[in-house]
Amino acid sequence: MKTRKGIILAGGTGSRLHPLTLTVSKQLLPVYDKPMIFYPLSVLMLSGLSEILIISTPDQLPSFRALLGNGSALGIRIEYVAQPRPDGLAQAFILGREFLNGAPAALILGDNIFYGDNLQEMGQRSDGRRDAASIFAYHVAEPSQYGVVEFDADNKVISIEEKPTVPKSNFAATGLYFFPSDVPDVAAAVKPSPRGELEITSVIAHYLAQGRLHVETLGRGYAWLDTGTPESLLAAGQFIAMLEARQGLQVGCLEEISYRAGWIDAEQVAAAAARYRNSGYGTYLRSLIDG
C-alpha cells in the first residue's frame, strides 16, 4: 500500500485579506515569528507525511521555493504545482494527480492553523484509514461562513452543506482532509457549483453517500484558526505569541518535528540554527541539541 502524500493549497481561493496586504502570498506573511505556511506544513509532518505538494499561483511559487526548497533540509520531499486560477478546493486533487500517483492524500489549506495536544495522534489515526475519508469538525459561533456538518442523535454524520443560510449545526468542516487514493477521480467528476467552483463539500458528500466518511470532532482542547481576514491574522499571531511565551515551546517548528521523527540529525538542526541565528527561532533550535 502506498504511503499517503500531502497537499497544501496555498493559492488565492477564499482569501478575504485586503488586496494591499497581498503583495506576497498571504501564506508567506508572518504569523508571529514564522511564515504562515510553516503551520499547515507542520500538521502534515506531525501526521507522518514526508512527501508534500505545494499548490499556489505561478507568480508566488518562486517565493515558496526560495523559502522551503525541495524539503531536503527537513528530511522530506517538497514539490510544487502552479494553480493558474482558483477554481475551488477540489481542484487541488486534479492538479495533484501526477504527484499523488495512486497514493491516498491529505489536503490542508495554507491559511489554516491547528493546535491541540493530541493533534499528532489524531492525524496519524486518520492516516491509518486508507479506505475512508476523514474530516475534522470544529464548533464555531457563525457556522454559515463554512461547510456545516450535521449529526444525528447518535452523533453520526448525515449531511454536509456549504455555507448554508440556515445551518443545521454549529460544527464547521475545517481545512484539513484525508482521502483515499481514488480522490482525483472523485474530484474530476465534481460539477461546478453556482459559485463556479469545484466544492470540497461535493467530494466529501461522495464518501458520505458511500458510507466511507469519518468525522473527528475537535473539542474544547483544540484551536482552529482560519486566517483569511486581517483581524483573524492578527488574532492568530497573538495566540501563537501567548503560547510560546508561556510554554517556552515553539508552535509549528518544522526542524523540531523532523528531528523528533528521525528525518534529520543533530548536525542538520545545528545548520538550521545557524541559518536562523540572532532570532528566537534559531536559539530554540540550538536548545534542542544542547539539551
Regarding whether 166 and 210 lie in a shared domain, the answer is yes
Are 183 and 105 in contact by the 8 Å Cβ rule? The answer is yes
Residue 260 within a domain = no
Give the chain's domain count.
Answer: 2
Residue 254 within a domain = no
| CATH number of the domain to which 200 belongs | 3.90.550.10
Residue numbers of the domain that contains 114: 5-248
Regarding whether 282 and 211 lie in a shared domain, the answer is no
In this prediction the pTM is 0.93
Which alpha helices (DSSP H) does 88-194 contain, by range? 91-95, 97-100, 119-127, 183-188
> What is the Cα 240 distance to its own chain's centre?
17
Regarding whether 186 and 122 lie in a shared domain, the answer is yes
Nearby residues of 161 by Cβ (< 8 Å), 6 or more positions away: 147, 148, 150, 167, 168, 201
Query: Which pLDDT tens digit goes with each residue over 246-273?
Result: 999 999 999 999 999 999 999 999 999 9
Cα 148 from Cα 167, distance rounded (Å): 7
Residue 259 within a domain = no
Regarding whether 100 and 38 lie in a shared domain, the answer is yes
pLDDT band at 108 (very low <50, low <70, confident <90, very high): very high
Regarding whether 146 and 109 lie in a shared domain, the answer is yes
Query: Which pLDDT tens digit goes with each residue over 64-79?
Result: 999 999 999 999 999 9
Regarding whether 119 and 15 lie in a shared domain, the answer is yes
116-132: average pLDDT = 91
Regarding whether 151 and 20 lie in a shared domain, the answer is yes
